[in-house]
Amino acid sequence: MLSIGILARRTGTKVQTIRYYEQIGLMPEPGRTEGGQRRYGDVELDRLAFIRHSRQLGFSLNAIRELLDLSDSPERSCAQVDAVAQRQLKEVEDRIARLEALRIELRRMISECSADRVADCRILEVLRDHEECLADHDPPSA
């Protein structure tokens, strides 16, 4: 049996985060010693590692809850798990497209700046002109 501190260290998760996951129902209420200390086993260790890895991949807490519910029913079709992963992939691809648009805009701003003085700086001029930023440029196609 593991204490919350050892569980935290073994998974790289903060103690406060573990308590939060328990509070919102992602982690089950742990067993306790007579002194009231939380105790965790391998099942909880695996579950927390799953949650942590899912968070690192950018899954929302709701998506993780859905995945955990699905994993608790191994006889169910994997199609629902695939759908959750597909949604996450779409979100990642959308985020990448937005970042690519930001990169293009920053490169454009930098390339257009050839002034020697701040008063004539094209970067500062573009940043002041909210209408020009990204609105005048098509985002890259995915």
Radius of gyration over every alpha carbon of the chain, rounded to an integer in angstroms: 23
Mean pLDDT of the chain: 88
Query: Is 13 a member of any domain?
Result: yes
Residue at 95 is within a domain: no
Residue at 34 is within a domain: yes
pLDDT at 40: 95
pLDDT at 98: 94
pLDDT at residue 51 above 70? Answer: yes
Which pLDDT score is estimated for 129?
Answer: 76
The answer to whether the Cα torsion of 55, 57, 59, 65 is positive or negative is negative
Q: What is the mean pLDDT of residues 25-42?
A: 92
Non-local CB neighbours of 25 within 8 Å, separated by 6+ positions:
65
More confident residue, 131 or 59: 59
pLDDT at 59: 96
Within a domain: residue 126? no
